[in-house]
Amino acid sequence: MDVKIELSWKSRLSDEFEKDYFTRLSEFVKEEYRLNTIYPPGQLIFNAFNLCPFDKVKAVIIGQDPYHGHGQAHGLCFSVREGVSFPPSLINIFTEIESDLGYKPGLSGDLERWAAQGVLLLNATLTVRAHMAGSHQNKGWEIFTDSVISLINREKRNIVFFLWGAYAQKKGESIDRSKHLVLESVHPSPFSAARGFFGNKHFSRCNNYLSEQGIEPIDWR
């Protein structure tokens, strides 16, 4: 199957695209876009990969679903398009960055600036029906993104994985902690952030680890 995705990912995931589950998933997604309003726009489904080639990956942040409101999702977890109001979880992420690193993040909620530095902003499910959270779960996307995590775990070293909340932690259970740094806390959602997301210092811990490995740290502004 000819999937439009950045070439370094395409070469490594080509076998995945030929599997039966991915064929079924593709047919489901195509029909959903034909019949319903689906986010993100079709050309941005693999935006996280296109903006962060395999060889550039330094860190992985694992989200769950794309945002399901108009104009928000653009293929990067926790990120919204330029000019869109910040969702509550993103506000809390920026609050923790300021507390941890001592500077205010940028005025934009578009996190392409992180992706360009090697942060793979990976949702577990890459599409969603408008105003219906979780509507494309259990259709095959989770199998695909598990394979992506497994690939990174297997073929790379010294990657920082951010696992926020029980869902992301379960998805990252198989990551080899002897090869990579795994940072876990509650989710930045307003429902849980005060129970351990605030004060987790994940951003400084990430950068300290990368520096220790001789890898350029992330500018989280």
Given a contact cutoff of 8 angstroms between Cβ atoms, the answer to whether 131 and 69 are in contact is yes
What's at 114, amino acid-wise?
Answer: W
Residue 1 has pLDDT above 90, yes or no: no
Q: Which residues are catalytic?
A: 65
Instruction: Name every residue whose Cβ is closer than 8 Å to that of residue 214 and which is 6 or more positions away in sequence.
Output: none
List CB contacts of 70: < 8 A, sequence separation 6 or more: 130
Is the pLDDT assigned to residue 159 strictly greater than 80? Answer: yes
- The tens digit of pLDDT for each residue in 55-79 reads 999 999 999 999 999 999 999 999 9
Asked whether the whole model's pTM tops 0.85, one would answer yes
Judged against a pLDDT cut of 90, whether residue 141 lies above it is answered with yes
Give residue-wise pLDDT tens across range 101-110: 999 887 899 9
Question: What are the DSSP E strand ranges found in the chain?
Answer: 38-39, 59-63, 119-123, 128-129, 160-164, 181-185
Q: What is the pLDDT of residues 170-214, one digit of tens each?
A: 999 999 999 999 999 999 999 999 999 999 999 999 999 999 999
